Amino acid sequence: MVENVPWRPAAGAWPRGQEAEAFAWEVYGFPLPDVHGTREGNLEIMAEPDRMLQERLGETSYRKLVALGNPGVDEFVAEFIKLCDPASVFVSTDSEEDRAYVRRVAIANGEERELAVPGHTLHFDSYHDQGRDPANTKYLLRPGTDLGERVRSIDKEEGLGEVLGYLRNSMAGKELFVRFYTLGPAGSVFSIAAVQLTDSSYVAHSEDILYRPGYENLRDLGPSAEFFRFVHAQGRLEDGVSADVDKRRIYIDIESNIIYSTNTQYAGNTVGLKKLALRLCVRKAAGEGWLAEHMLVMGVHGPGGRITYFTGAFPSYCGKTSTAMVPGESIVGDDIAYLREIEGEVRAVNVENGIFGIIRDVNAQDDPLIWQALTSPGEVIFSNVLVDDEGAPHWLGNGRPAPERGINHSGEWWPEKEDEASNPVDMSHRNARYTIRLEHLDNYDPRHNDPAGVPVSGIIYGGRDSDTWVPVEECFDWAHGIVTKGASLESESTAATVGAEGVRRFDPMSNLDFISIPIGQYIQTNLDFVADVAEPPKVFGVNYFIKGADGGYLNAPQDKKVWLKWMGLRVHGEVRAIETPTGLIPLYRDLRHIFHEHLGKDYEAEDYARQFMLRIPEHLAKIDRIESVYRRQVPDTPEIVFELLQAQRQRLLAARGRYGAYVPPFDF
């Protein structure tokens, strides 16, 4: 707790009059009358936020806030207290006492309920608030700002008027939680300070698990420290859940580094430091010469206790978390990474401190490490699963019999239940989640909190691809990898995806939904990133979903361990590779040895030939698709993209003339 902090005098501490109005333009990016409705009211709050804070916070929370010594934080908090009008405000430090208070409130107000296993709690979102809302997630842009046709946006003045209108008085009768976090390890060149305002104890509790505490870090940064800002209000509640989901809005102000979220509880819309903050970071990184990526960070173990670190980008349902959790390897992070060039070397950190994971199909056989964490005492939040009368959670694909009755996100549940549209209600929502700390996993890497990050030796791109990419392939060089793997990443839709199955979705670097700059600029930033790196990381493509003529998968789920081990050996030059028109693939004898050593199974030459066959027609069709997307939809595409795609096309055509359309790897 913070004690003996002198109260800051209001006089002379803040700009006034026309200076206050100019200050608002500079800091917030919009004129004061757009914030609270009257010029006089806004000038008053900008002039003396201390007076409001003293009145509204109470002495304990006020002292915590001003102890930070950051006028920008005070102004931010004061502004939204004035706008949202909470009944009370709780300012949290990094202390366990403050964090425990949030957990108690979450149980007391019904946002979470205790389960049978100590430390486990359950949260339900509204039946109609079960996932990210892309249609209402928009950038606030000034006229003339263009992020490309794929980016949803709204005029900044119009959008602010709408979302601030929804936020006005939205916390009446509720408690506002003021939270401080650090994206990346504290005290590091990677770290970014963040302040979250929310009236949801569930959101605050989730962030305590998912992110590193940041109160002390922000105080150490001094009075002029910059920080990301997040404002979330649940809106009007019915039966404890957001009632006005038709007014759900998630608006992103990339100029002021602030995100607004209202009339929603689902964590993907409300835990601002996750994918919402990634949008801010992509832009910040591009301007400063580093990368903010939708990537795992993991260590692959090799001879003599060696650990080789990789990052990896995979769209949803393409094996990202299962790759990070391969038994015998170590996890640094499963979702978001920052990459920087430091003294001629690429290094990376996990932005987060925990996992907000899809729980569907997590079971003891396929996911032993996660299963152990989810079934042992410890701090875990389950969301939108079924709970039975004994206080045990159940979810789809957990390998256990479903109970006859229970409670889920729809209320009372039974096997034949239907919703108001006569749709079957599953036992657990398909997007049900779990929230845990990384340190609860047995494969937790101790370098997770290293302020210098981990050295990156390889970058992996993988999608759901039934007929083109081989299971693992090394690119010729950095630019070849960024263009033909990262910028050409696609993923096929599945039966679990709304819409037709098997449709390929273009998703460069698995980051399309979060790119907050023109796509061409984003690709160029990736290409330029290693300009000062002595030995850039190797770039690999993987594909766990290649199918044979009978429609069955040619790989088993556990085979990904072999592909990881081969990549680890390639990074250190310990195995050779076969050059093909699209990249470098493993030798059969090396894979046979790795399969035997690490999986204890025989690997037949026939399997190798089918898995690593070069499918030239499919590769040519992919190049045509990717080139068409960039020519039609990305006017600022770097010319090198077309040059490298054309060069790959010519190599494929030459191979077809020599070997035919489908080339077994032994022919090379």
66-115 tens-digit pLDDT: 999 999 999 999 999 999 999 999 999 999 999 999 999 999 999 999 99
Give 258-307 pLDDT, tens digit per residue. 999 999 999 999 999 999 999 999 999 999 999 999 999 999 999 999 99
How does DSSP classify residue 328? T
Least confident of 109-118, 219-228, 487-496: 487-496
- Indicate the fold that domain 291-354+446-667 takes in CATH: Phosphoenolpyruvate Carboxykinase; domain 3 (3.90.228)
Q: Report whether pLDDT(3) > 60.
A: no
What is the Cα–Cα distance from 264 to 132, expressed in whole angstroms? Answer: 10
pLDDT at position 50, please? Answer: 78
All CATH 2.170.8.10 domain ranges in the chain, comma separated? 356-439
Q: Report whether pLDDT(366) > 50.
A: yes
Average pLDDT, the chain: 91
Structure token pair of residue 623? 């190049």
One-letter identity of residue 509 = M
Q: Report whether pLDDT(52) > 90.
A: no
Single out the residue of 296, 248, 293, 253 nearest to residue 275, CA to CA: 293
Tokens 């072999």 belong to which residue? Answer: 562
pLDDT at position 11, please? Answer: 33
pTM for the model stands at: 0.90
Give 410-469 pLDDT, tens digit per residue. 999 999 999 988 999 999 999 999 999 999 999 999 999 999 999 999 999 999 999 999
Q: Which of 84, 281, 318, 475 is catalytic?
A: 318
- Indicate the fold that domain 356-439 takes in CATH: Phosphoenolpyruvate Carboxykinase; domain 2 (2.170.8)
All CATH 3.40.449.10 domain ranges in the chain, comma separated? 48-117+136-273
Helix (H) / strand (E) element for 58: namely helix 49-66
3-state class (DSSP) for residue 565: helix
| Cα 626 from chain centroid (whole Å) | 25
pLDDT band at 26, cuts 50/70/90? very low
pLDDT at position 569, please? Answer: 98
What is the Cα–Cα distance from 629 to 506, expressed in whole angstroms? Answer: 8
3-state class (DSSP) for residue 482: helix
318 is catalytic: yes
What is the Cα–Cα distance from 105 to 124, expressed in whole angstroms? Answer: 16
347 and 452 Cβ atoms separated by less than 8 Å: yes
CATH number of 48-117+136-273: 3.40.449.10
Q: Report whether pLDDT(656) > 90.
A: yes
What mean pLDDT comes out for the span 541-566? 95
pLDDT at position 104, please? Answer: 97
What is the Cα–Cα distance from 356 to 207, expressed in whole angstroms? Answer: 10
Give 456-465 pLDDT, tens digit per residue. 999 999 999 9
All CATH 3.90.228.20 domain ranges in the chain, comma separated? 291-354+446-667
Give 527-537 pLDDT, tens digit per residue. 999 999 999 99
Q: How long a stretch of residues is the chain?
A: 668
What is the Cα–Cα distance from 584 to 78, expressed in whole angstroms? Answer: 58
Q: Report whether pLDDT(498) > 50.
A: no
What is the Cα–Cα distance from 523 to 513, expressed in whole angstroms? Answer: 14
One-letter identity of residue 279 = R
Q: Report whether pLDDT(20) > 60.
A: no
More confident residue, 131 or 461: 461
Q: Report whether pLDDT(46) > 90.
A: no
What mean pLDDT comes out for the span 351-378? 93
316 and 287 Cβ atoms separated by less than 8 Å: no
- For the chain, state the CA radius of gyration: 26
